[in-house]
Structure formats: C-alpha cells, structure tokens
Structure 1
Amino acid sequence: MNVDPEPAVLLDGVGKVYGTGPSAVTALHEVSHGFPRGSFTAVMGPSGSGKTTLLQCAAGLIRPTAGSVRVGGADLTTLTEAELSRLRGRRIGFVFQAFNLLPALTARENIELPLRLTGTRARPGWVEELVRRTGIADQVNRRPHELSGGQQQRVAICRALVAQPEVVFADEPTGNLDTRSGQEVLTQLRLVVDVLGQTVIMVTHDPAVASRADRVLILSDGRLTDVIDAPTTARISTALTHRAG
C-alpha cells in the first residue's frame, strides 16, 4: 500500500449539531482523524452513531458546526457553495447503496457523466482502462436495467473514478447486493486502492465487509471510540459488541 504522509482527508475537531435549543441533537463530537492517501478505511457504528454524518461532512455534502475538514489541502469549511460544488465535481467521487445511475443512459454514458457536468475530459484510454479493470468492458453499451446489481455498482465505481478524484466516498456500497455480488464489488474497491492508488472511505454496517479495509473506525454516540488497523471480522465484531454493551 502506497501511503503519502499528508492525509487525503483530514478531520480536525469536527462537530455537527442538528437543530437548536432543547431539541438540538449532536451527531458528531469533536472527531479528529487523518485518512492516508492510498488507503481503504471503513467507518462503522450502530444506528445513530454518526457515521453517515461523518461521511457527509468529510465529503463536503454538509457543513460541520465546529472544526475543519481538509481534502487535498483545501479547507472545505471556508469554501462557498459554488466552490464546494466545483471541488466535489473534480476531486471527490461517490458510490451509493442505490447505484444512482440514470436509466436513459448507457453504462458508458453514466460513467462519463461527471466529465460532461464539469466540462472536462478524461485522459486518453482512461475510461477503457476503468471498464476493463472492473470487468464491465462488454457491458458499456447496455442500460442499467439490462445489468445485474453488481454490474450496476461497478458502473457506479467507474463513474466515481472517471475524473480521477483525490478520494472516493462509498456509502453502504454492498447494501443492495447479494453476498457474491457484494464480494465482487469489494474486490473492485480493493483494486481501486491497491492498483490505482486511490483513497476510499466507506460506511458499512457489516463486519465482513469492513474487514476488507486497511483500517476501521468505530463511532459511538458521535464520538470516535476505536481505530482498528489490519482488521478482521472477529476483531471488528468484538469492538462493536463491547461498545454496544
């Protein structure tokens, strides 16, 4: 694993409060963590632990109430909405549980959509390399309804990578897939890190899925409570059970 000393994403004292007054809910409490370049990190925790809020703050989808978020050296908390939108389009990729492919477009057109939206071009041969590495080269002219769930998610991974972002955020990317398709998608995410050198940050509820990452963060009540390096399913399950108890 090729890891750069400067984190791809740096959270420094990040807090997030929803609402005001007596009804206010604190979703994150002063979370600080650096996500190394070229690494695969899973974020776990029980429902309501703050893992989705952490992902959304780190990706610039919502603004934290306190602290700072840096992606590739840029402080997201100081950017305007227009600047945030441009940064997300060029430097951040997303993979969602529901795939979020446009049904009227072919797989290739879905993959190339971020480039069209930002008015940029992929380097020569990049799209072909992506579809070849993810095993969908013979599916690129099909529309989403003609593809299996696993194939659709691999299209979504290619779409997330087409602009060569600094970091890819994945929100429960195997949640809508059967076990075999889920394992295939995880293999592709590992390839994204190990071969293409990307940084992946993934939210999941499944210890077996998280064990494919290099590191697992455990959240509880909005606080970062554990960091597990070289995770195994057993170590993750033990940590989650301990926190639940």
Structure 2
Amino acid sequence: MNGGIEPTVRLDGVGKVYGTGVSAVAALRDVSHAFTRGSFTAVMGPSGSGKTTLLQCAAGLTRPTSGSVSVGGADITRLSEAELSGLRRHRIGFVFQAFNLLPALTGRENIELPLRLARRRPVPGRVEELVGRAGIAEHVHRRPHELSGGQQQRVAICRALVAGPEVVFADEPTGNLDARSGREILGLLRRVVDDLEQTVIMVTHDPAVAAHADRVLFLSDGQVVNVMEAPTAEAIAAGLGIH
C-alpha cells in the first residue's frame, strides 16, 4: 500500500498452475504487487513468462490456484461466478488488440453497450466527455467498418471507460495499429490516467509502447523479476536483453 491508501488492484502470493501431475505447468509463481489509483503499468516479458495469465487473474477472468486478488478492496477470489461477472461489468474495463466491437452497432451504441447489458443509464454527459477526449465525436454515428483501426480502438477505449471502472486492462492495445495510430492510442491512455486518475494495466511486448507507462513489471518464468520506474524505451529494451 501507499500512504495507507488501498490499491486499486492487489495481488498477494498469486500462483496459477495449469494441468496436474507430471503435465502441470506453473504459469505464475507467488506474484505479489499493488497497482495504485491513477497509475499506468506495463507488464512485459518473453513468451510464456505469464503476462497474459497475470492479466487474466487480476481481472477476474481466471481464478488463481493460490493467493488472492483484490479489486477496490474486494477479494475477488472469494466471489461466485455470478458475482465475478457483475464485478467485471461495473468495476473493470477491457481494451483488446482486436477491438471487439459489434459490427451491427454504431460507435456510440458500442460505447453504451456495457451500460445496456448492466441495465444502467449513462451518467449525463459521460459519453460526450469521453468521445470528446478521444477525438471521435464526429465519427460515433458510424459503424466499425466505416472507421479506421485507430478510430475503432478509440471507441473501444471509450467503451471500457463508460461505466466508470476502477481499473482498465489493456492487452496489446496497439498490436493491430500502424505506428501513428498506436502513438495516438497510447497518448489517449496516458491522458485518461493523468486527467481522470484512471488505473491502467497494459500487457505489451514493445518497449516503445511500454515507455508510455509509469512503470514496467518484468516477468520471467511466472515471477516478477524487476520493476522499472519512469521507463524509457532504451532502458526497457536493455532490461529485456534486446539489442
């Protein structure tokens, strides 16, 4: 904890094992970390290091084999599947590499979809504020196939934020974008952290992408092996052994 303030997401001794007996594979090994409110953390490591498993455990998408995960002070490892589903709808946002927009809906309808599924009304002015910040106010009447990749990802980010979640998980959010669109998306994520005090946890393999974060968690063989504050692309590449 930081100054007695409960972190937005906290992992305590989290382990995750897939399979049993001789075929068992430990994807995470005794991982502990606190993600504070208004922080932007990148999670990096080689293939098979446990990045995606860490994200899935932290987001309540899969249950750890051992340890505990809390979101907003609530121990999500103790929740039923129905309770977990409700928590993800109300308190967690997701941004994926593939955008995952519904093609039959307009941008605005995609943004409002989480609220419709949760049978909640949008906070007055919330959608307008988000699409204004994302720079897509004039495009939200269009369907996904009428939008560029960068515009689709902006819609996806607005959708992740519309319910006012405590944390947004981003899995390779620039992976399907060209360099310019990728920089714009990272700039948008940076602004929602700085301006809205949003907590963002992002999995990426790209040092240039991770350099937009406040810190980088390096994983290897299912364990956190380093935490780098105020990262630069060059320092991250060195930490990954990239030359």
Instruction: Tell me which interval the TM-score lies in, with the shorter structure as reference length.
Output: over 0.9
Give the aligned residue type for 1:152: Q
Query: Which stretches in structure 2 are left out of the alignment for 5+ residues?
Result: none
Structure 2 residue matching 1:163: 3-state secondary structure:
coil
Distance 2:210 2:61 in 1: 23
* Partner SS for 1:217: strand
State whether structure 2 residue 172 is matched by structure 1 residue 172.
yes
Q: How far, CA to CA, are the matches of 2:208 and 2:46 in structure 1?
A: 15
- Tell me the CA shift for residue 226 of structure 1: 0.4
Superposition pairs of residues 78-93 of structure 1, within 5 angstroms? 78-93=78-93
Question: CA separation of 1:4/1:206 partners in 2, compared to 1, >3 Å: closer, same or farther?
Answer: farther
1:40-189 matches, within 5 Å, as 40-189=40-189
| Length-normalised TM-score, structure 1 | 0.97
Counterpart for residue 241 of structure 2: 241
Return the alpha-carbon distance in structure 1 between the equivalents of residues 54 and 41 of structure 2.
13
Counterpart-to-counterpart distance in 2, 1:136 and 1:11: 35
1:116-165 per-residue CA deviation (whole Å, 9 max, x = no partner) reads: 00011221100000000000000010000000000000000000000000
Root-mean-square deviation (CA), in Å? 1.3
Question: Residues of 2 paired with 1:97 and 1:177: CA distance?
Answer: 9
Per-residue Cα deviation, 1:152-188 (whole angstroms, up to 9, x for no partner): 0000000000000000000000000000000000000
Instruction: Say which SS state the counterpart of residue 142 (structure 1) adopts.
Output: coil
Cα offsets for 1:51-77 (capped at 9, x unmatched): 000000000000000000000011010
Secondary structure of 1:227's match?
strand
After the TM superposition, list the runs of 4 or more consecutive aligned residues in structure 1 that deviate by more than 6 angstroms.
none
Partner AA of 2:149 in structure 1: G
Residue equivalent to 2:214: 214
Q: Judge conservation of contact 1:4–1:37 (CA < 8 Å) in 2.
A: no
Structure 1 contact 4–38 (Cα < 8 Å) conserved: no
Kindly state the Cα deviation for residue 4 of structure 1 after the two structures are TM-superposed. 8.3
State the 1:6 CA deviation.
Answer: 1.9
Q: Note the alpha carbon deviations across 1:90-130, whole angstroms, 9 max, x for none.
A: 00000000000000000000000000000112211000000
Deviations 1:14-54 (A, max 9, x none): 00000001001000000000001000000000000000000
Find the aligned partners of 1:157 and 1:187 in 2 and give their Cα distance: 12
Shift of 1:5: 2.9
**Cα distance between partner residues in 1 of 2:219 and 2:191:** 26
Q: Secondary structure at the match of 1:195?
A: helix
**TM-score after normalising by structure 2:** 0.97
- The structural deviation recorded for 1:241 is 0.7
